[in-house]
Structure 1
C-alpha cells in the first residue's frame, strides 16, 4: 500500500466524505481522487514517465494536494520547494534534482522567465491560475518561456478517469526533500513510498486520528512536518483538512470555530502568536482535542500557559527530514512531560549513543540515532554523505539528547551551529557562503540569537574591507540571494573574528559575546 492508492480506496469507500475545505470551497474524497487521477493522466500525456522528477513550487492549496498525489500516482518523484526561495536557491534545487516538470502559481511566471535558460532539463512549467493573474494575462504569450507553459486546469481536463498508474514498489523514491546542508548547499533526502506511508500511518495511529477529525493545515505543505502530520496522516485516516493558505492568528481562530477543528499542528512561534492574540477566545478553540508542536523546542512556560488558557493538550514531538520525519511524540494515553519530545513512536527505535556508537546509560547525554521503516534511502547523488549519515541501518541525527528511565527523550542541544527561525532550519554556513561573495567582506561568522517572535534570529559578524559598509547595505545584499527567514536580522562589524591557533573561527567566543550583549 502507498499514500495515493490508500486515498483511492478511501474515496471508493466514502465517496461523499469531505476531504478538505479551502477558502469557502469544499471537495469530497471522490472529487479529490478524480482530480488526482486526471492530473496523473494529463502528466502522462505530456510525456512524463515513472521515475521523472516533478517540482512543486506551491503554497498551501488544493493544487499542492492534487499535484503531490497525482505525481505519486503516476510513479513520478516529487520535489517540494519553498516558493519564497530566491531564483538562485530554486535554480540550484531544480538543477541538482534533475527536475523535468515544475508546477507553480502564475506568480512564478516572471521567475520562470528569469531562470528557464539555466534549466534545460525542464520541459514543462504547469501554471496554477490565481484570481489576480493567469496564462491569459497581457504579454505572457510573448515570453520566451511561454511555449513550455501549460495550465494546471488544462492538464487536469486533458486527463482520463480510466487512467491506471504503474505498480509502485515500496523502495521507489516518492519524494526528495532538500534540506539545508552544513556544506552550504542543500542535500536531497530521498524518501520512499514505504518511508512516507509508514510514518503517516504510524503518526496517525499514535495520535489517534480518525475520519471524524478536522485538521487545521496551516504549516507550509512543502515542509516535511506539515507533509506528514497535517496532510498525509489525516488523509490516510480519512479525516478532513482545513487548509489555510497562510498562518494568521485571526484566520486560525475563525477556521477552528467555523469548522469545529479537532487537531491543530504548529511550531512554537505559531502558538506564541495565538496565545498573544488579544481577540483569541478559548471558546473559538473549544472543539480542539489535540495540539501538536514540532520544528523547535517549545518553552515550557508557553506550553503551560497555552494549555491553561485554551484547555487543550499540546503534544510535542521530534523529527527530521531524513526520517520522514517523526521519530518521537509525547503520548496521549500516558503522562505528557513538558520539555520532552516523548518516547519513540510505534515501529521506530531511538537510541542515545557515544562517539563509538555504544548506547549510553539512562540520563547521560549522547547523539540521538534512529532506526525504522521511516528512515530515508539516502541523499540524492551524494553517496559519501549518505554513508556518513546512515551506519548499520541507523540514522545519525547529529542532535545531542538524553533518555529518562521511562523512555522519554530530551533534546539537549541541536545540530552543531544550526539556527531555527520560526521552525525553519538555517545553517550558518549557507548564509556565510552568500556573505563571503560580497566583494567588501573579508570574514564572516553567523550565529543564532534569541528572538521573541521567531524563537531565534540570524545574526552576522562581519570583517569588512570598507569602513563605510553599513548594516543596511549588507542586509539588502543578503535579501537578493537568500530566502527571507535566512536573512540576518542584524549585522555586527568587527575588526577581526576570534580564532584558535590553527585559524579556525571560535564560535563559542562569539556566542559568549552575544550572551553578554543580551545580558547587558
Structure 2
C-alpha cells in the first residue's frame, strides 16, 4: 500500500464527496483521482518513467495535489521546491536532484528561459495557468526552448484513465525533500513510500482524522509538515481540504466559518497573527475540534493566550524532514502539557542521549534521536552525511531535549543555537519564553553574538506593540526573571522578524545581518 493506491481506494468509496475546496470551487474524490491517473498517464506518454525525478515548483493549489499524486502513481520521485527561491537556489536543487521534468506556474517561463541551458537533465517544463496578467504577456513560441514547454492541462488531456500504474516497492524513493540547511548547500532527504505512508497513517490515527473533517491547508504544500499532516493524512481518510493559496488571518477566519472547519495546522507565527488579528472573534473558530502546532517551539504565553481567546486546545507536536516528519504529538485523550511536544506517536521511538549515545535520565538535557518506519533512507548522493546522521537505525536530530517521568518530551533548543556565556550554556528559547510573557512584546528571537570578555553575549530582537518600550526596560524585565548571565546584553527593536515561508523565525538571518553590519 502507498499514498497513490490509498487515494484510489478512498475515491472508490467516497467518489462524490468533496476532496478539496480551492477558491470556493469544489472537486470530488472521483474527479481528483481521475485527474491524478490522467496526469500520470500523460507524463508516461512524455517519456517519464518509474524512478525519474519530477520537481514541483508550486504553491498551494490543485495543481500541486494532482502533480504530487500523479507522479507518485507513475512511480516517479517528487522533488518539491519553494517557488520563491532564487534562481541560484532553484538551479542547484534541479541539478543536484537530477530532475527530468519541472512543473511550475506559467510565470516561471522567463526564469526557465534563462536557466534551461544550465539544466542538462531537464527535458520538459510543464506550466500551470496562474491567471496573472503578466503571464498573458509571455509568448512561448519566441523562446529557444519552446519544444520543452508543455501545459499542465495538455498533459492531463493526453492522459488515459485505463493507465496501468507500475508496481512500486515500499522502499523506493517517493520524495526528496531538500532541507534548508544551516551550513553549506541544502541536503536532499530521501523519503520512501513506506516512510510517507506509515507516517500519514500513524498521524491520522493519532489525531483521529476521519471523513467528517474539514482541514484548513494553509501551510506550504512543498513543506513536509503540510505534506503529511494537512494533505496526505486527511486525504487518506476521506477528509476535505480547504486549500489556502497564501496564509491570511482574514481568509482563515472566513473559511473556518463558511465551511465549519474542524482542523487547523500551523506554525507558532500563524497562531500569533490569528491572535493579534483585530477582527478575529472567538466564535469564528468555534467549529474547530483540533489545532495543531509544529515547525518550531510554541511559546507557552502564546499557546495559552490563543486557547483562552478561541476556546480550542492547541496540540503541539514535533517533526523534521528526515522523519517524514512527525515523531511526537501531545495526546488528545488527556490534558496536554503546555510547552511539551508530547509523547512518541505509534510505531515511532524517541529518546534523549548524551554525546556517547547513551540514554540520559528523565529531566536531563541531551540530543533527541528517533527511530521508526518514518526515518529517511538517507541524503541523496551524500553517503558521509547520511552515516553521520543515521547511526544503527537512529536518526540524530540535532535538537536538544529532555523527557519527564511520564514520557513527555520538551525541546530545549537546537544544538547549534546554544549561547556559551562565560562557560555557561544559555538556551535562547528559555529567554524567549520569558520575553513572550511581557505584555508589550509580540515576537522575539534571541541569538548569541561574539563577546571579548565572555566568549558570547545574549542579544534579543523584539517586535513590540508599544513604540515607547525601551531597551533598558526590557533588560530590567529580564533581570527580574533570569539569572544574570542569561540576561540580554542588548536589545534590538524591529518592525518584523525574518521568517521562512512556513513562518518559522530565522535566527540565522539575524546573525548574518549582524556580521554584515560589522
In which range does the TM-score fall when normalised by the shorter chain?
Answer: 0.7 to 0.9
Q: Match of 2:291, SS?
A: strand
- Which whole-Å deviations, capped at 9, do the CAs of 1:75-98 have from their partners, x for residues lacking one? 000000000000000000000000
User: 1-side partners of 2:336 and 2:264: how far apart?
Assistant: 17
8 Å CA contact 1:84–1:484 kept in 2: the answer is: no
- Which whole-Å deviations, capped at 9, do the CAs of 1:112-144 have from their partners, x for residues lacking one? 112111101100000001222598745331012
* Residue in structure 1 matched with residue 83 of structure 2 by the alignment: 83
User: 1-side partners of 2:78 and 2:459: how far apart?
Assistant: 31
User: 2-side partners of 1:389 and 1:414: how far apart?
Assistant: 15
8 Å CA contact 2:107–2:135 kept in 1: the answer is: no
8 Å CA contact 2:77–2:173 kept in 1: the answer is: yes
- For residues 437-476 of structure 1, the aligned pairs below 5 Å read 450-452=461-463
* Residue in structure 1 matched with residue 364 of structure 2 by the alignment: 364
User: 2-side partners of 1:121 and 1:336: how far apart?
Assistant: 49
User: 2-side partners of 1:241 and 1:319: how far apart?
Assistant: 21
* Residue in structure 1 matched with residue 73 of structure 2 by the alignment: 73
**Cα distance change, pair 87–495 in 1 and its aligned pair in 2 (3 A):** closer
Give the Å deviation of 1:182.
3.9
**Cα distance change, pair 450–316 in 1 and its aligned pair in 2 (3 A):** farther
* Residue in structure 2 matched with residue 94 of structure 1 by the alignment: 94
8 Å CA contact 1:214–1:241 kept in 2: the answer is: yes
- For residues 222-233 of structure 1, the aligned pairs below 5 Å read 222-233=222-233
**Cα distance change, pair 236–394 in 1 and its aligned pair in 2 (3 A):** same
User: 1-side partners of 2:129 and 2:511: how far apart?
Assistant: 34
1:240 aligns with 2:262: no
Q: Match of 2:513, SS?
A: strand
Counterpart of 2:513 (choices 482, 491, 512) is 491
8 Å CA contact 1:195–1:373 kept in 2: the answer is: yes
User: 2-side partners of 1:74 and 1:18: how far apart?
Assistant: 24
Q: Match of 1:416, SS?
A: helix
Q: Match of 1:340, SS?
A: coil
User: 2-side partners of 1:109 and 1:311: how far apart?
Assistant: 46
User: 1-side partners of 2:264 and 2:225: how far apart?
Assistant: 12
* Residue in structure 2 matched with residue 199 of structure 1 by the alignment: 199
Q: Match of 2:113, SS?
A: helix
User: 1-side partners of 2:173 and 2:48: how far apart?
Assistant: 16
* Residue in structure 2 matched with residue 309 of structure 1 by the alignment: 309
8 Å CA contact 1:126–1:151 kept in 2: the answer is: yes
8 Å CA contact 2:36–2:67 kept in 1: the answer is: yes
Q: Match of 2:126, SS?
A: strand
Give the Å deviation of 1:452.
3.8
- For residues 33-432 of structure 1, the aligned pairs below 5 Å read 33-132=33-132, 137-417=137-417
Give the Å deviation of 1:487.
5.7
Q: Match of 2:343, SS?
A: coil
**Cα distance change, pair 9–144 in 1 and its aligned pair in 2 (3 A):** same
**Cα distance change, pair 487–14 in 1 and its aligned pair in 2 (3 A):** same
- Which whole-Å deviations, capped at 9, do the CAs of 1:439-461 have from their partners, x for residues lacking one? xxxxxx9x9954549xxxxxxxx
User: 2-side partners of 1:448 and 1:64: how far apart?
Assistant: 40
Given the two structures, how large is their TM-score scaled by the length of structure 1? 0.82
8 Å CA contact 1:352–1:359 kept in 2: the answer is: yes
Give the Å deviation of 1:343.
0.5
Q: Match of 1:150, SS?
A: strand
User: 2-side partners of 1:318 and 1:448: how far apart?
Assistant: 26
**Cα distance change, pair 168–287 in 1 and its aligned pair in 2 (3 A):** same
**Cα distance change, pair 243–415 in 1 and its aligned pair in 2 (3 A):** farther
User: 1-side partners of 2:17 and 2:296: how far apart?
Assistant: 34
Give the Å deviation of 1:109.
1.0
**Structure 2 unmatched runs, 5+:** 419-427, 430-444, 448-455, 465-503
Given the two structures, how large is their TM-score scaled by the length of structure 2? 0.82
Q: Match of 2:273, SS?
A: helix
* Residue in structure 2 matched with residue 470 of structure 1 by the alignment: none
**Cα distance change, pair 314–49 in 1 and its aligned pair in 2 (3 A):** same
**Cα distance change, pair 109–330 in 1 and its aligned pair in 2 (3 A):** same
* Residue in structure 1 matched with residue 442 of structure 2 by the alignment: none
Give the Å deviation of 1:111.
1.1
**Cα distance change, pair 194–230 in 1 and its aligned pair in 2 (3 A):** same
8 Å CA contact 1:106–1:134 kept in 2: the answer is: no
**Cα distance change, pair 238–128 in 1 and its aligned pair in 2 (3 A):** same
8 Å CA contact 1:220–1:226 kept in 2: the answer is: yes
**Cα distance change, pair 413–210 in 1 and its aligned pair in 2 (3 A):** same
User: 1-side partners of 2:122 and 2:321: how far apart?
Assistant: 25
8 Å CA contact 2:400–2:413 kept in 1: the answer is: yes
Q: Match of 2:50, SS?
A: coil
User: 2-side partners of 1:168 and 1:16: how far apart?
Assistant: 28
User: 1-side partners of 2:336 and 2:147: how far apart?
Assistant: 56
Give the Å deviation of 1:281.
1.2
User: 1-side partners of 2:368 and 2:104: how far apart?
Assistant: 37
Q: Match of 2:416, SS?
A: coil
Give the Å deviation of 1:484.
12
Aligned length: 445
8 Å CA contact 1:11–1:30 kept in 2: the answer is: yes
